[in-house]
């Protein structure tokens, strides 16, 4: 597995998203209130716009989520599945934090 360094952990604000270009793919990164870093594809499959990094971070039944800022569909930060339309999902990328640096795996 190949890792790409993306940013410093401290630059990721809790419950906020940022977008990074990783191996030619837009990846939305989120740091949840418990300190875990999640990464999803940034493209909203319902609108086709690259906006998930601007979504609203929350939880549903204890699962960390992000709601699309356009049509408000909610996606699991763990599985990438849309909790409103289970047949729809976005890619999930592996993340790691090492020495204060956040890295994302370039293989889905």
In 3-state terms, what secondary structure has residue 9? helix
70/79 Cα distance (integer angstroms): 20
Name the CATH topology of 3-105: Rieske Iron-sulfur Protein (2.102.10)
pLDDT in tens, the chain (108 residues): 899 999 999 999 999 999 999 999 999 999 999 999 999 999 999 999 999 999 999 999 999 999 999 999 999 999 999 999 999 999 999 999 999 999 999 775
3-state secondary structure 15-60: CCEEEEEECCEEEEEEECCCCCEEEEECECCCCCCECHHHCEEEEE
In 3-state terms, what secondary structure has residue 81? strand
| 19, HSE (Cβ side, Cα atoms, 13 Å) | 15
pTM: 0.94
11-42: pLDDT as tens digits: 999 999 999 999 999 999 999 999 999 999 99
């Amino acid at each position: 597995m190949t890792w790409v360094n993306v940013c410093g952990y401290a630059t990721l604000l809790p419950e906020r998203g940022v977008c990074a270009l990783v191996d030619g793919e837009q990846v939305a990164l989120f740091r949840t209130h418990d300190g875990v870093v999640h990464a999803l594809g940034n493209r909203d499959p319902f609108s086709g716009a690259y906006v998930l990094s601007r979504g609203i971070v929350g939880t549903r039944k204890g699962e960390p989520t992000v709601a699309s800022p356009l049509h408000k569909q909610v996606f699991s930060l763990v599985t990438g599945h849309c909790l409103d339309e289970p047949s729809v999902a976005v890619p999930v990328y592996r993340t790691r934090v090492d020495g204060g640096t956040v890295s994302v795996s370039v293989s889905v």
